Amino acid sequence: MCQTVGEVRDALQAIVAGLDPDSVALPVAPAVWEHFDAVERLAGAAKVLLARRVDASRAWRRAGYRSAAEYLAAKEGGSVGGARQLLETSEKLAGTPRAEAALRDGTLSAPQARAVVDAASANPAAEARLVGEAGRASLTELRAACAAKAAADPDPEATHRRLHAERRLRQFTDPEGAWNLTARGTPDAGARLNVALEPVIDELFASARAEGRHEPREAYAFDALITLARRAVDGGDTGGGEARRRAGVRPRFLALLRVDDEALLRGAVQGEEVCEIGGIGPVPVRVARELLDESVLKLVVTRGVDVANLTHLGRGPSAAQRIALRWASPTCAVEGCNAVRTQVDHRLGWAETHHTRLDELDPLCKPHHDRKTYDGWALVEGTGKRAMVPPGDPRHPGRLRPQERPPPAAGDDTLFDDSAA
């Protein structure tokens, strides 16, 4: 086998060495790229499958490395953390036959396989469904689905204790000399960080917009983290929280805690019940009870107001509808889009219906909202994440009339405003 793989490597090396991307005809460039992507997936699958055998060989010890993760990271030019995840996935694959088969045939990429096997280890019954989800969802959406399925963990308290015990924050400098920061911990810890971070992100976004600067949200998030650190060192208000509290202003960011009422009373989830922080992950009921005292949390109990059938006569959604919509669809409703800054869109124009119903609303990011409004695109029939198609597509609902697109300067980014909730 080693000789055969070596011959394949030599052949591929020769192809890449002679590849002149500018000479590839534009009509075939996507197909060529997809072929290379398939080769990369298969090679990545082999690396995942073999990682545990490399560990067992103890070649890393003979080469002077402290662990197999360090050895693999050095060989592939990657991070030790990434190599450690590779080894963990390799070990868990033995118990997830469907995920292993999908990895072998190239259906799952290595990152997708890692997400699926991690969730399937906690909830084996979800393995088949998650493998199918990987074929139509983005990696971010797949990870969210895996987190939801992992919530069926038979011992969430033990999982929470393990996540807390394994909490970590790492700093390192990459080959370009850039400072990197990664962190891992419990979902409730992430929610508390977001409560401090989101108001500063909004503050920096507004300041940049007033100055005519436009940068990705990730850039403002980085600046917000540094701003929090600077204010802490300088002894100032880290997020403007105390000043807002004195003025009676609530934080704009809202964390949504969803828990079934039976689980809340019982003290533990059973079956398909959930107890989690929306958009972040599952938490034990004990943690949920502690968080109920936090002013930054709204509770969505499954036996509450029947928001789905509540009709509001105003143009915008009510507070209850906003909370329910944010919980049901934390990101843009377009399949494959992970944007969290969204606009509330009526599937049928409010001018036609003169009412607002939750089952007629979709959260759309500004680019997809503009595409629907001005170019005639539409979400296919259904609910939740789904494809957005152009007017000529047979799946198009056929209800929309494109409007005239306004000049760029006239557009206004009216984003989903949690403060109204």
Domains of the chain, by residue range, sit at 30-150, 186-247, 311-420
Lowest mean pLDDT among 144-153, 178-187, 311-320: 311-320
Residue 310 confidence class, pLDDT cut points 50, 70, 90: low
Query: What does the DSSP 8-state code read for residue 308?
Result: G
Distance CA 83, CA 311 (A): 52
pLDDT higher than 90, residue 14: yes
Predicted confidence band of residue 100 (pLDDT cuts 50, 70, 90): confident
Of the candidates 331, 397, 360, 387, the residue with the CA atom closest to the CA atom of residue 136: 387
Instruction: Summarize pLDDT for 212-234 with one digit per residue, the tens.
Output: 888 888 899 999 999 998 888 77
pLDDT, residue 232, reads 83
pLDDT reported for residue 30: 93
pLDDT at 366 over 70: yes
334: three-class secondary structure by DSSP = strand
> Tokens 């939801």 sit at which residue?
148
Of residues 409 and 77, more confidence is placed in: 77
Q: Which residue has the higher pLDDT, 62 or 412?
A: 62
What is the Cβ-side half-sphere exposure of residue 320, based on CA atoms within 13 angstroms? 14
For the chain, give the longest Cα–Cα distance. Answer: 74
Q: 417, 369, 367, 411: which is closest to 198 by C-alpha?
A: 417
Domain covering 30-150 assigned CATH 1.10.10 in the classification: yes
Q: Which two tokens stand for residue 143?
A: 């990870």
Instruction: Give the pLDDT confidence score for residue 163 in this predicted structure.
Output: 84
Q: Produce one character per residue of 28-59: b if its CB has 16 or more CB atoms within 10 Å, e if not.
A: eeeeeeeeeeeeebeebbeebbebbebbeeee
